[in-house]
Amino acid sequence: MDRQNRTIVVFGATGRQGGAVARHLASEGWRVRGVSRNPAGARAQALRDVGVEMVQADMGDRSSLDRTLEGAYGVFSVQNYWMYGYGPEIRQGINVADAAHAAGIQHLVYSSVGGAERNTGVSHFESKWRIEQRIRELELPATIVRPVFFMENLLGWVHHDPENNLWTMRMPMPPDRPLQMIAVTDIGGFVALVFDDAGRFRGEALELAGDEVSMSQAARMISQHLGEPVEYAEMPMDEHRAQSPESADMFAWFIRAGYQADIAALRQMYPPLLTFGEWLDRVGFADRLRERQVDRSRA
């Protein structure tokens, strides 16, 4: 693949998935054009520092996308449900697909979610299924990646009680129910592999996970990594539903159905795929937890 002379436009480049994709592609020698609503910001500057060209566009504004895609070979598309909700997420995803079609893009990689094709009834999975359908209707040369639960999410579920000096991981999941997870960096690595081997991956859909652990196992592994006990406690689903009905729908689906990535096959395709234990060390999870604790006590 002639990477140096081919431009890949990366939506969400200043975010988690797009950021990982942009960095992997740039480090592997592709020309990368990152899209941001604010290309003057610090996150955009950090991408420029690793050789990414940054341009301004808004996925909600179809007319801003044509210029962005000019002369490009490939596109990575991702939207954020949590910022906009069901309808706008679909509109943005369709805008990117339509613009890719109009520009004659040779390879679109769309990041959906694990299980999107399996009738989950979860709004932010169904929105992605609708975008996938548009990509198929347009007969775009495309690959769908469907990442599972991000390992990064766990940072938000582990808390420290300073009075009793106790770490607790509390989630609306039974302690022994396994959950497939993926490190965000591996989404980037996998998408780079997909662009590199277009002949193999065009027309394919791949559910992406790097490990499968139960929450009680995860708490034990975090405890070992942290060097302090971490207790796992199951949060009643009704309590979580009161905080976020959408997230509760997703956890209820994790319990009743769940992700189905073929992790062994994925690791053969992409050997660097991180296990949960490797990821804890790689990102310095303990330091990140402690930093967050200090930030909270200052707030």
**What residues make contact with ligand NAP under the rule CB under 6 A?**
11-12, 14-18, 35-38, 58-60, 78-81, 83, 92, 113, 124, 147, 149-150, 153
Min CB(123)–ligand NAP separation in Å:
10
The Cα 39–Cα 47 span in angstroms is 10
Min CB(227)–ligand NAP separation in Å:
27
When CB distances to ligand NAP are compared, the closest residue is: 15
Q: 190 is written with which tokens?
A: 């996998």
Nearer to ligand NAP, 78 or 263 (CB): 78
The Cα 160–Cα 147 span in angstroms is 29
Min CB(54)–ligand NAP separation in Å:
9
CB-based contact 91:74 (threshold 8 Å)? no
Min CB(146)–ligand NAP separation in Å:
8
Nearer to ligand NAP, 147 or 172 (CB): 147
Nearer to ligand NAP, 43 or 267 (CB): 43
- CA 44-50-56 angle, 5° bins: 30
Nearer to ligand NAP, 45 or 268 (CB): 45
Min CB(149)–ligand NAP separation in Å:
4
CB-based contact 174:211 (threshold 8 Å)? no
- What is the DSSP-derived secondary structure letter of residue 235? P
Nearer to ligand NAP, 150 or 253 (CB): 150
Min CB(31)–ligand NAP separation in Å:
19
CB-based contact 67:57 (threshold 8 Å)? yes
Half-sphere exposure of 78 (CA within 13 A, CB side): 27
Nearer to ligand NAP, 38 or 224 (CB): 38
Query: Residues with Cβ < 8 Å from 224, sequence gap 6 or more?
Result: none
Count the Cβ atoms, other than its own, within 10 Å of residue 236: 9
